[in-house]
Chain A
Amino acid sequence: MAKVAQDIVSNDYQYGFHDTEDYVYKSKRGLSREIVEEISERKGEPDWMRQFRLKSLAIFQRKPLPTWGGDLSEIDFDNIYYYIKPSEKQGREWDEVPEYIKNTFDKLGIPEAERKFLAGVSAQYESEVVYHSIREDLEKQGVIFLDMDSGLREHPDIVKEYFGTVIPPADNKFSALNSAVWSGGSFIYVPPGVQVEIPLQAYFRINAENMGQFERTLIIADEGASVHYIEGCTAPIYSSDSLHSAVVELVAKKNAKIRYTTIQNWSRNVYNLVTKRAVAYDGATVEWIDGNLGSKLTMKYPGVWLMGPRAHAEILSVAFAGDGMHQDAGAKVVHAAPHTTSNIVSKSVSKGTGRTTYRGLVKVYPDAVGVRSNVRCDALLLNEESRSDTYPYMEIEEEQVSIGHEASVSKLGEEQLFYLMSRGLTEQQAALMIVNGFIEPFTKELPLEYSVELNRLIQLEMEGSVG
C-alpha cells in the first residue's frame, strides 16, 4: 500500500519533493489574537497595520464559511501554521540566498536563460520573500518592486493609501483571514507614464506540512503606466491538507495597463482560495491571465471593477481538474461606468473524476450606457465520469448595452482521436494535442517559456488519461 502510494506520488507529481525543514522561526499551530500580534511585532509593523490585522481577525472569526462553491468542511483551521520565516535577512544578492532554497530552484528547473529576462526575481519561499533584486533601469524609472513586507517598511504612505481598498477584509472569510495573517507577496508601484517593458516575475512554493501561505500582493500602475506581472508556482506533495489563501489587489489609474499572469500548479492536497480584484479607472485596461492546475479545491474568480469610462477588462482562464480535484473558477466584471468593455474567456478540462465549475458575474450599473461584454466558456471532458458546470450570472441594470454569452461542453471526440491517430500519433499524443489545441486561446497569451511549461504540466497531468 505504502509502495503504491509512493509510486503514485513519484509518477503523478514530479515536483513532489521537499527539503528538510530548516526555519528560523515557526509560529504555533492555529490562530489567535496572540499569534496575529506576534506576527505584526516580529515584522516591526506600524500600529495601523497591527490594528488592521486584528480587525480582520475578528471579521474572519465572525464570518461563516461560504456555503456555495467547493467543499470546505475538511479545512482544520486549528491545525495550520500561520507564519513561518525561513531566514532573518532579506537576500539582496543571489549569494546571500540560503543553499537549500537554491536547491529548490534547481529542482524546479528554473532556466538560467530566463533569469536574464527577469527584471527582478522575487522568490517567495515559505511565508516571506528571501531573494529579491531589481534591475537598475527599473530603479532609475522609479519603479518599485519589492516584497510586500519591505514595501510596507520602505513605502508606508503608498501602502497605507491602497492596502485593503480594493479588497476590504470583510469581502469574504478568506480575504479576512489573509488580512489578519498575510506575509510576503509582491508590492509594485509604477510611476505615471512609465512602461515596464519586461514582465516582472515571482516564483514561490509551499514547503511545510500543514502550513498556510497567505501572501498579499498590491500593484499600482499610475496614470498612463503599464506593467506585466507574472507569478508561477508549484508545490510539493504532502499527506495532509494545506491551505493557500492569497489576496491580490490591482489599481490601474487613468489610461494605465496591468496584465497579471498566473500559472498555478498546486499539489493535490492544497486548498487554493484566492481573492483577486482590480479597479480600472478611465481608459485603463486590466488583464487577468489565470491558469489553474492541481490543488484539491481551487476557488478563484479574478475580478475587475470598471470605474471610469472606456476602461477595459480581459479575463482569460484555464482550469485543469485531474482525478479528485475541483476547480471552481471564473471571473467577475462590474461595469460601473459608461462605455466600458469586457471580454471573458474560460477554458476548462476535466479528467477522470475531476470537476470544473465556471462561476462568473457580469454586472452593469444603471446609466452605464454603451457597455459591451462578451463571455465565452468552453469545457472539455476527457472521461465519462468527468464533470463540468457553468454558472454565468448576469445583473444588467441598463438597457443600452451589448452582452454576449456562449458556452459549450464537449467530450474528447472519437473522430478527432482517430483522425490524429491515423497520422501516426499515439492515443496519448492525440489526446494531448487536442487538449493543447483547446486551451490555445489561453496559451498564446503567455510568454514562450510559460506556454512551454504549461504544455509540459498538462502533459504530466494527461498521462494515463485515456483508455
Chain B
Amino acid sequence: MSDNATLLDIRNLHAAVDGQEILRGIDLRIGLGEVHALMGPNGSGKSTLAYTLMGHPRYEVTAGEVLLQGENVLEWSADERARHGMFLAFQYPVGIPGVTLANFLRTALKAESGKDVSALEFRKRLREEMRALKMDDSFATRYVNEGFSGGEKKKAEVLQLAMLRPRLAILDETDSGLDVDAIRVVADGVKRVIGPDMSVLLITHYENFLKHITPDYVHVLSKGRVVASGGRDLADRLQEEGFEPLFAELGIRDEAEAAAARG
C-alpha cells in the first residue's frame, strides 16, 4: 500500500501479555516519511502494538516479523531499537525522581548518537525546542515526569521526540487527556519535526488529532488485527459514524460493546 521505500514492515505479528494473545496477526507497512494513523476502540490492541514494537519485556511476540529497513527488530532489546532510530511517545510516561529532564535528554542523546554533545550546543537546542512547545525554561531542571500535569507529560514526550529525531516515531495517544489548546500545541510540535527522514505511527482513538496532523494512511484495528485501511476519508467516516457501521459492514459484531465493557 505504501508508495515510498519501506521503513517498517510488520508481518503477521502476534503478541501476548501474561499468556493472553492480544495481537493476532498484524500486517502493516510504513514507508519513509509517511504518517500512518492507527485507530480502533479501547482494547483493540493499539497500545499493545506500540509496546511490542518498542520491545517491552512483558510483551511476548509469539509469531510474525518486524523489519526496520530489512533488519530484524525483534532481535533487539528496547535500547537497541532506540539506537536504531525507533521512538515511542508513551501514553502514560513514568516518573524518574531525582533525574532532571535536561540530564535525561542529554544522556539519551549521547546514548543514541554515540557521541557527546557540548553543553552549550545542547542547551541552545533544548531551549529552542522548548520554546516551540511553549514550555517554560524551568522545565529543563524539573525531574522527569515528576509532578507533571497530563498535558506537561505529553509535551515532555514530544520534546524528547524533537530532540532525538528518530526515523520512526510511534505516538501512543499523545492527544489523550489534553484540552483543545494543548492539542494544537502538541500537534504543531509533532508537525514541526515530521519530514522525509521521519515516519510516524500515530495511535489515537479520537479523530480530533487528525484535524491537526493529516495522515497519509489510516488503519483500523479490531481484536488485534488491522481490519480496514484507507486514506484521510476513512478517518472522516469514523468521525461521523463511529466504528460500529464499519464493523457491521465487515461482519465484526459487538466489537464496540465488548470494547466498552473491557475499557
Which residue numbers of A lie inside 8 Å of B, CB to CB?
413-416, 418-427, 429-430, 433-434, 436-441
Contact = CB atoms under 8 A, between A and B. Distances in A.
A420 B88 CA distance: 11
B98 A440 contact: yes
B78 A421 contact: yes
B98 A423 contact: no
Given A421-B55, A436-B98, A436-B99, 7 more contacts: A419-B93, A423-B112, A423-B164, A424-B83, A424-B164, A434-B99, A437-B97
B250 interface: no
A433 B107 contact: yes
Interface of B: 54-58, 77-79, 81-83, 87-88, 90, 93-94, 96-99, 104, 107-108, 111-112, 143, 160, 164
Nearest to B95: A416
A439 B97 CA distance: 9
Contact of B96 (A414, A427, A437): A437
8 contacts: A414-B58, A421-B79, A422-B79, A423-B104, A423-B108, A424-B108, A425-B107, A426-B111
A425 B79 contact: yes
Given A416-B96, A418-B78, A420-B96, A425 B88 contact: no
A426 B88 CA distance: 16
A414 B96 CA distance: 12
Nearest to B145: A419
Contacts of B107: 425, 429, 433
B82 A422 contact: yes
B78 A440 contact: no
Which of A418, A438, A439 has the most chain B CB atoms closer than 10 A to its own CB? A418
A384 B164 CA distance: 34
B82 A424 contact: yes
A418 B57 contact: yes
A422 B111 contact: no
A441 B160 contact: no
A434 B55 CA distance: 20
B118 to A, nearest CB: 19
A415 B94 contact: yes
A329 B94 CA distance: 30
A422 B81 CA distance: 7
B123 to A, nearest CB: 18
A419 B99 contact: no
Contacts, number: 76
Nearest to A425: B111
Given A413-B94, A414-B57, A419-B90, A424 B99 contact: no
A377 to B, nearest CB: 15
A437 B144 CA distance: 10
Nearest to A430: B79
| Shortest 7 CB-CB contacts between residues of A and residues of B | A437-B98, A440-B98, A424-B111, A437-B99, A424-B112, A423-B108, A424-B82
Which of A414, A422, A437 has the most chain B CB atoms closer than 10 A to its own CB? A422
A438 B58 contact: no
A181 to B, nearest CB: 41
Nearest to A434: B96
A419 B82 contact: no
A272 B78 CA distance: 41
B108 A418 contact: no
A424 B107 CA distance: 9
Given A414-B58, A418-B57, A437-B143, A425 B108 contact: yes
A419 B96 contact: yes
B104 A433 contact: yes
B96 to A, nearest CB: 5
Nearest to A413: B94
A347 B112 CA distance: 31
A426 B99 contact: no
B198 to A, nearest CB: 16
B95 to A, nearest CB: 8
A380 to B, nearest CB: 10
B96 A422 contact: no
Contact of B97 (A420, A422, A427, A438): A438
Contacts of A430: 79
Contacts of A436: 98-99
Nearest to A410: B97
A406 B79 CA distance: 35
Given A429-B111, A437-B99, A437-B143, A422 B88 contact: yes
Contact of A438 (B87, B88, B98): B98
Contact of B111 (A415, A423, A440, A441): A423
Contacts of A438: 97-98
Contacts of A413: 94
Contacts of B108: 420, 423-425
Nearest to B88: A422
B142 to A, nearest CB: 12
A423 B96 contact: no
A191 B175 CA distance: 63
Contacts of B104: 420, 423, 433
A436 B96 CA distance: 10
A332 B55 CA distance: 47
B160 A423 contact: yes
A419 B79 contact: no
B245 to A, nearest CB: 37
B77 A421 contact: yes
B106 to A, nearest CB: 11
A423 B82 contact: yes
Contacts of B77: 421, 427
Contact of B94 (A416, A423, A433, A440): A416
A422 B54 contact: yes
A291 to B, nearest CB: 15
A422 B98 contact: no
A440 B141 CA distance: 13
Contacts of A425: 79, 107-108, 111
